[in-house]
Amino acid sequence: MNEKEQISVVVCDDSALMRNLVGKMVENADGLVLAGKAMNGRFLLQKLPRLQPDVIVLDLEMPDMNGIEFLKERKARGIEIPVIILSSIARRGAQVTMEALSLGASDFIPKPSGSISEDIHVVEKQLVELLRGYGQKYRRKAGPRGDGSSGATAAPPKEPAPPPRESSGGAAADTAAPPKAVKVKLEPTAAPVPRAEAGPVEILALGISTGGPNALRQVFAHLSPDLAVPIVVVQHMPAGFTTEFAKSLDRICPLEVKEAADGDILKAGRILICPGNYHIAVEKRRLAGVVRLSQDDLVNGHRPSADVLFASVAAQYAGRSMGVIMTGMGRDGAREIGSIHRKGGITLGQDEESSIVYGMPKVAAEMGHVQYIVALKDMASTISRLVQENQ
């Protein structure tokens, strides 16, 4: 891969040790090149026009101009270079990380052991995955480096901002053109049960990983406020962050969003986010369904695992369910979303173009488990429409 094809990365951290450790990860990764380093947000802003990176690694706690202040200035200047946050794992770190996402940061990686983490190598694979995913997506959108269409001084056109919470998913969403959902050719062994036999949708289960925080922000901001099913979400995220993540989603979503607790009731119009380091499953009772949390062994290398959620939804709700699998590396959820599909449930997968990493939904589609391939921008309206049509 020549230099022009490599993803260019800038590392911004006030710790020289952290700049060097993260910089070496970038230099050692295939397809990535280290464009430069900065010790705070002010120096970073000065260097961006010259360096024209494809992605930025940003610390939050820095003197002079910290990460939040940089993100505010980035937004004011219309800079759209994606930003991956290096975050402290403390509670305050989780709160600030969610604020960073609300200001336009793309994703985050928790530092394993605080502000200066000499063991940062334990998150190397995840960081490289994020840098490649977001960097490649930005390059495709911004055009070749050096032609004046990339970098801090000439941002690509902005996508429309989500509407305010009060109007999200309301009449405008209901009257919009039908979403561009494409039927996937199903394998004979995965033919769905006819919807007439399966019955109305009573629950929606969603599995997502890399690229998930902002993807969920976009989807949840546009869901119909009249969506009459409970939603249970597995987002691969470290323990300590899911409480604040759920709160941040609740602020922009017309439905209630909360971190799930063991025994929480599944209620129409409520979204439950699985807490980090727990599996989540559903249990159907005579009066109402509930969720169950456990710390059973990792599945597909994950806890929570989307496969655990999908398997329980298929077992408890059969064809009266919907499964959604979105952006993420690997294959978690790809097998058991097939259980929902085989029992007559509706299954959706995010498309390649809008996925940061086209892993989980790709494997599910290749296995014949996905009925509809849907772009991120159409996911909320597609979910709302399909639930309404199957009531």
Q: Which residues are catalytic?
A: 209, 236, 332
The pair of three-digit structure tokens given for residue 338, joined into one six-digit string: 């097939």
CA dist 61 and 77 (Å) reads: 21
| Residues 6+ away with beta carbon under 8 Å from 182 | 372, 373
CA dist 51 and 8 (Å) reads: 9
DSSP string, 55-108: EEEEES--SSS-HHHHHHHHHHHT----EEEEE--SHHHHHHHHHHHHTT--EE
Residue 109's SS3 state is: strand
Name residue 54's amino acid.
Answer: D
CA dist 351 and 369 (Å) reads: 14
User: Measured over all CA atoms, what is the biggest interatomic distance in the chain, rounded to whole angstroms?
Assistant: 64
CA dist 288 and 145 (Å) reads: 55
CA dist 145 and 54 (Å) reads: 9
For residue 367, which phi and psi values (nearest 5 degrees)? -80, 0
Residues 223/383, Cβ–Cβ less than 8 Å? yes
Strands 55-59 and 32-38: unpaired
Residues 86/59, Cβ–Cβ less than 8 Å? yes
Q: Scanning the structure block, which residue is given the tokens 């159409």?
A: 378
For residue 332, which phi and psi values (nearest 5 degrees)? -60, 130
In the chain, where does DSSP find H-type helix? 16-28, 41-51, 67-77, 91-102, 124-142, 171-174, 195-198, 212-221, 242-252, 306-317, 337-342, 360-366, 376-389
